[in-house]
Amino acid sequence: MKRRKVSGFVRGCRRSVAGKMKREMSKVLRSIALDDNNRKELVQGEEDDYDCFPISFLRSDLLEPHLVVAPRYSLLREVGRGSYGVVYEAVARKTGARVAVKRLQCDAPEKVELALAEFWALTSLENRHQNVVQLEECVLQRNGLAQKMSHGNKKSKQYLRLVETSLKGERILGYSEEPCYLWFVMEFCDGGDLNQYILSRRPDPQTNRNFMRQLTSAVAFLHRNSIVHRDLKPDNILISQKSGFPILKVADFGLSKVCAGLTSRNGEEHPIAGAGARGSIQNSSVNINKFWLSSACGSDFYMAPEVWEGHYTAKADIFALGIIIWSKRELLGTYVRK
């Protein structure tokens, strides 16, 4: 009797493992089969709204979790990993240009909210600034198909579902069997971040002045475009060495807020913070310091006192900027000694 139970248990385990392997292999084969000829496998009625390029993702628990075959970009190596995503160094196959590719999995509303905040901030910029990281494109990938994201694309059901996920606080896209990712393709910065740069060199007055001018120029540019970063710190400032000397790049806009102004009846600006829209934030008469924010977010050491109180403006970025400049000049000596 015991032997029958044991043999039945073993057969059940074998069937379970075999079934799992079969499902995994079918997903891999389905992913490999997605190429230029399979672009028609989009949702019916949305073909004209999709700007697709083929990406095949070999996603399986039995394989390497980051094994990716990308026709447009070849991933070279992993350069960073955090709680919300992974950053790779990649190369564009057509041009050979090096880019940074950030992958964010949309498996939780808080991750979707951070991804959309960064997407809205970077796509709302009509002009480039040499000290702000440049977004080349953003791609939404699901089931092996990739859709190029565009700002305010109301015809895309996938984009609207992401927004719905962020607003409702519940998962709309992505399941354990069918993960959903947002891929940010940005310019690659080969000099690491400002924190690494500071701690690896002796303080230099000329470099400090140069960095201070670059940072203040970047923050002023963001504020002119009604963007409050809200998480300025050396770790979120990248360095590019392409020109032979260090160029700072403000990055990581996951906690940023794009502000949009409404006009009241008497003609005065009525401040309100929201997602914003391209073109509407380019009004030079808008005073970003009239927009009051309430979400206490950022990194403790660089947060202004009013941020902790939940009632602050874009001046909180100026406070963080001052702390960065001070820490860069002092080389964090006070905290190193402690």
What is the H or E stretch that residue 182 is in? Answer: strand 180-187
Nearest to 320 by CA among 305, 337, 338: 305
Nearest to 215 by CA among 242, 202, 197, 200: 197
Residue corresponding to tokens 């300025």:
232
Q: Partners of 91 in the beta sheet?
A: 74, 98
Whole-angstrom distance, CA of residue 255 vs CA of residue 116? 10
Beta strand pairing call for 86-92 and 237-240: unpaired
3-state SS assignment for residue 294:
coil
Question: Is 5 annotated as ligand-binding?
Answer: no
Asked if residues 84 and 111 have their Cβ atoms less than 8 Å apart, the reply is: yes
What is the H or E stretch that residue 140 is in? Answer: strand 135-142
3-state SS assignment for residue 268:
coil
Provide φ and ψ at 57, rounded to 5°.
-110, 120
Could you please report the per-residue DSSP string of 91-118? EETTT--EEEEEEEE-SSHHHHHHHHHH
Active site residues: 231
How would you label 230-247 residue by residue, b for 16+ Cβ within 10 Å and e otherwise? bbbbbbbbbbbeeeeebb
Question: From the annotation, which residues make up the binding site for ATP?
Answer: 102
